[in-house]
Amino acid sequence: MLRIITYLAVIVIITYSCQANDNSEKSQTGDQQISSVEALEKANKYLIRTENEDIENYIRRHQLEMKETGTGLRYKIIKKGNGPKAESGKIATLEYQLRLLTGDVVYSSDKDGLKIFQIGKGNVESGLEEAMHFMREGDQVKLIIPAHLAYGLLGDNNKIPPRSTLIYDLEIIDIK
């Protein structure tokens, strides 16, 4: 009988110690996951902060007065048009020049043709899509689109590098 009690006690102790080790390992893994998440959050906040500083420096250097939306899109309506308002479902036709914050022209309607797209369908940069909702035919606009509203971490795998802020100078020449 003493052997059975001793045997059961050993099993209970082994089982308990194994569970305690598992919990300890899970806690350490959880702490590592938390610290990894915190590190990513810090890195992301740093990238956003430095991009915003770069945008603000650009605005100051070029003496621009721009409005900012809640998402970080900056815009200035240079010339107001008097045509129809841009609305979801309508087709917009734009003349444009698209530059990086460095000033390098990456795309333009002169070389690449007019930009034609259906508003609200999501087949353009989300910053351009957002801007369309306060524009109308004939408007001439300057947009500064942060990377998270443009091509993000990857760029466009062509002329726009990863994490690039974009500057659009555009005119809406037609809304149908």
Which among 127, 122, 125 is positioned nearest to 88, based on CA atoms?
A: 122
pTM value is: 0.76
The string of pLDDT tens digits covering residues 127-164 is: 999 999 999 999 999 999 999 999 998 999 899 999 99
Q: Any idea which fold 67-175 has?
A: Chitinase A; domain 3 (3.10.50)
Domain boundaries, the chain: 1-63, 67-175
The DSSP result for 104-136, as a single string, is -EEEEHHHH--EEEETTS--S-HHHHHHHTT-B
pLDDT tens-digit series, residues 73-130: 999 999 999 999 999 999 999 999 999 999 999 999 999 999 999 999 988 999 999 9
